[in-house]
Amino acid sequence: MAMDYSKCAKEIYETLGERSNLVSVAHCATRLRLVTVDNSRIDMKRLENIDGVRGVFSNNGQLQLIIGTGTVNKVYDEFLKVSGMSAATKEEVKAAAAAKQPLFKRMIKALGDVFVPILPAIVASGLMMGLVEALGKALPSFAGSDWYGILDLMANTAFTFLPILIAVSAARVFGGNIFLGAVIGMIMIHPNLINAWSVGSMNAADIPVWRLFGFFSIRQVGYQGHVIPVVIAVWLMCKIEKQLHKHVPEMIDLFVTPLCTVLATAFITLGIIGPIFSTAETYVLEFAGWIITVGHGIGAMIMGALYPLTVVCGIHHMYNVIEAGMLSAVDGLNIWMPIASAANFAQGAACLAVGLKAKNRKTKSVAVPSSLSAALGITEPAIFGVNLRFVKPLVCGMIGGAAGALFGSMFHIGATSYGVTGLPGFLITLDYTVQYAIVLAVSFGVSFVLTWFVWKEETQEDGGAEKTEAQTENVPAVSVETAEAGERVLLAPLKGNVINREEIPDETFAAGVLGDGVGIEPEAGEVVAPFDGEISTVAETHHAVGITGPGEMEVLIHVGIDTVNMKGDGFEVFVSEGDKVKAGQKLMTFDMGKIKAAGYSATTAVLLTNSDDYPDFKIVKTGKTDILEKLISVGNA
């Protein structure tokens, strides 16, 4: 029976609290995305039970209703009619949701948005510094060579000009001109100013000062290595620039706005923001150092235990500010790094214990690779994919992280970079190699042993999962030419490695909310039609298509995880809604390099969104596949 889109939209509207409780609404390929005034006014249970709503969840201030491909756009159109609201873009909804977040969350998110893009530069420089320093110590003759000199210059560049990197990234985040932001960063470390690292050895009376207007004085001191003053300065610059764009006549805006923006920001930064916030930053760093060492390392233990929870909450990027500031201090050592490394390594150990102890093959296939990722410093797969799901491994990892952090504090380990933890951390802790090894060993041992004895695998979970694997394992690949007569099949729309739906790194897809199917880790960036059918929907951002085929099969092909945020960059579609297509016809292409560079997974969800209508639904292919190999069967017509 066809869905009544008007009825579905009306029930959603009424359950949400009608117009007085709505801020904005948009939709993507599968979901209605809403921002409400007050979610507590909504009966979530009733909302979930509305015919047509497949799931409800909140994320980053948005209330998201899972409707399904080919359907969500129709419900959305009816929702606009019944609510009287105007259509909004996903970006507008995202902005409205962000504005509702508490100030602290918005500040933490902004810091994360500023620092995450520059991490590759920091990591590359940090690792290069470690390698150059290691070679210099191993080969004394190399330490005085020209090669050492030029490689040391290359390694130090990102840290020497860190304020400029931060300024450019901050201008992008705060919506200003990134080149004006770069100028502000350059002004703060101009060579005519005394290097900030040299000020500590000077008497206050010897520091030159510019005296302006007879009462306003500016110390001729640079802000090399400072973080907070740069971010605040660029935030102010963006505010000034936006106001000037609004009020300056367009005829003279091109030269008046940049000139006034830079002058006003530079004077305020050097005269007020710099001195105040550099002092505040000093106190923050001193407090951070104190909390790590207080009570003979008790503070470090607490932070080692809590670190994974800050990852779960998404606020762990705030540590980048602290670490960058520590590297800018006189001794230039990052003493937060051992805490993060102990916490990350411990979570990896807990995940490995789960992987080795579990009998469930799916759990093993996820846990073991995730533990290796955590050992290299990337813990999200281990935390979100395994430890948080089972809870006890997360807690055991927190205990292991606390133990390791205690030893790190006792040994006074300091790193020469940030953004690197786990095994690669040896390259930036060369003066503490043995101590750092002990920290990792303690973190690993405590976490692994505790998890091994505390975590028990649930039998019910094993049975269900093993049954599914038994149905799909060792099934020979069948090409389109060998499909049985009358058999309704879904062929592989792209080349790659087929994984079970539950392994797709997106909770909505993995849970089967949008239907059953598989994930494909692509080897090539081309998607073809999985059968003869009709295009039912094409995502505005070109990262997903819906297609209806034999027996009314409704299929969603969603390329990548969270790739909607790429806004179409790297994607190209060759079909439109309503187009008739043949099996093997090219539907879209995508740039896997761009997806990876943007920080997203290219894993593609291939889901039969109405799989419940087919009792004979069966996955007939896992592992390596080529395009148009038989992937899913729903029985004979």
Question: Which of 317, 542, 543, 558 is the catalytic position?
Answer: 558
Nearest to 509 by CA among 207, 68, 154, 172: 68
Phi, psi (rounded to 5 degrees) for 422? 70, -150
Q: Which residues contact 451 (CB under 8 A, 6 or more apart)?
A: 349, 350, 353, 354, 357, 392, 393, 396, 397
Beta strand ranges found along 338-455 (DSSP E)? none
Phi, psi (rounded to 5 degrees) for 100? -85, -15
Q: Are 392 and 451 in contact (CB under 8 A)?
A: yes
**Which segments of 270-379 does DSSP mark as H helices, in order?**
274-313, 318-328, 337-357, 361-375
Question: Which of 8, 28, 351, 396 is the catalytic position?
Answer: 28
Q: Are 129 and 428 in contact (CB under 8 A)?
A: yes
Nearest to 226 by CA among 281, 146, 168, 152: 281
Q: Own/partner pairs for 299-303, CB < 8 Å, 24+ apart?
A: 299/409, 300/338, 300/339, 300/405, 300/406, 300/408, 300/409, 301/402, 301/403, 301/405, 301/406, 301/409, 302/402, 303/339, 303/405
Is 28 an active-site residue? Answer: yes
Is 558 an active-site residue? Answer: yes
In this structure, the number of other CB atoms found within 10 A of the CB of residue 39 comes to: 16
Rounded to a whole number of angstroms, the CA Rg of the chain reads 28
Residue type, position 412, single letter: H
Residue type, position 24, single letter: S
CA atoms within a 13 Å half-sphere pointing along the CA-CB vector of 297:
18
Query: Which residue numbers are catalytic?
Result: 28, 558
